[in-house]
Structure 1
Amino acid sequence: MTDPIIVMKQQVGKAAAEYIESNSIIGLGTGSTTAYAIEHIGKRLQSGTLKNIVGIPTSFQAEVLAKQYNIPLSTLDMVDHIDIAIDGADEVDPYKNLIKGGGAAHTQEKIVDSLAKKFIVVVDGNKMVDKLGSTVPVPVEVIPKALTPVIRQLKELGGSPDLRMGVKKAGPVVTDQGNLIIDTKFDYVNDPKSLEAIINNIPGVLDNGLFVDVADLILIGEIIEDVPVVREF
Structure 2
Amino acid sequence: MKQTGGSEAGKRRAGESAAELPSDGEVVGLGTGSTAAHAIRALGDRVDAGLDVRGIPTSFQARQLAQEAGIPLTTLEEATVDIAIDGADQVADSGALVKGGGGAHAREKFVDADADRFIVVADPSKLATSLDYPVPIEVLPDARRPVADAVRAAGGDPTLRVAERKDGPVVTDNGNLLLDCAFGAIAEPDALAATLSAVPGVVEHGLFVGLADELHVGSDDDVEVRPVESAD
- TM over 0.5, yes or no? yes
Aligned-partner SS, 1:150? helix
Which residue number in structure 2 is paired with residue 46 of structure 1?
48
- 1:63-100 CA-to-partner distances (Å, cap 9, x unmatched) read 00000011001111111x21000000001111111000
Which residue number in structure 1 is paired with residue 201 of structure 2?
204
Q: 1:46-195, aligned counterparts within 5 Å?
A: 46-48=48-50, 50-51=51-52, 53-79=53-79, 81-133=80-132, 136-195=133-192
TM-score (norm 1): 0.93
Identity %: 46
Distance 1:190 1:70 in 2: 42
Give, in angstroms, the shift of residue 177 of structure 1: 0.5
Give, in angstroms, the shift of residue 9 of structure 1: 1.5
Question: Would you say 1:19 and 2:21 are equivalent positions?
Answer: yes
Distance 2:151 2:167 in 1: 25
Give, in angstroms, the shift of residue 7 of structure 1: 2.1
Distance 1:195 1:158 in 2: 10
Which residue number in structure 1 is paired with residue 229 of structure 2?
none
Distance 1:39 1:75 in 2: 19
TM-score (norm 2): 0.93
Aligned-partner SS, 2:186? coil
Structure 1: which amino acid aligns with 2:47? L
Which residue number in structure 1 is paired with residue 39 of structure 2?
37
Distance 2:168 2:34 in 1: 24
Give, in angstroms, the shift of residue 8 of structure 1: 2.0
Tell me, which stretches of 5 or more residues in structure 1 are unaligned? none
Give, in angstroms, the shift of residue 13 of structure 1: 0.8
Structure 2: which amino acid aligns with 1:211? F
Aligned-partner SS, 2:82? strand
- 1:28-48 CA-to-partner distances (Å, cap 9, x unmatched) read 000001101000111111122
Distance 1:128 1:37 in 2: 19
2:222 to 219, 224, 229: 229
Aligned-partner SS, 2:222? strand
Give, in angstroms, the shift of residue 175 of structure 1: 0.5
Aligned-partner SS, 1:181? strand
Distance 1:84 1:163 in 2: 33
| Equivalent residues, number | 221
Tell me, which stretches of 5 or more residues in structure 2 are unaligned? 1-5, 227-232
Distance 1:37 1:30 in 2: 10
Aligned-partner SS, 1:103? coil
Aligned-partner SS, 2:152? helix
Distance 2:9 2:186 in 1: 32
Aligned-partner SS, 1:10? helix
Structure 1: which amino acid aligns with 2:157? S
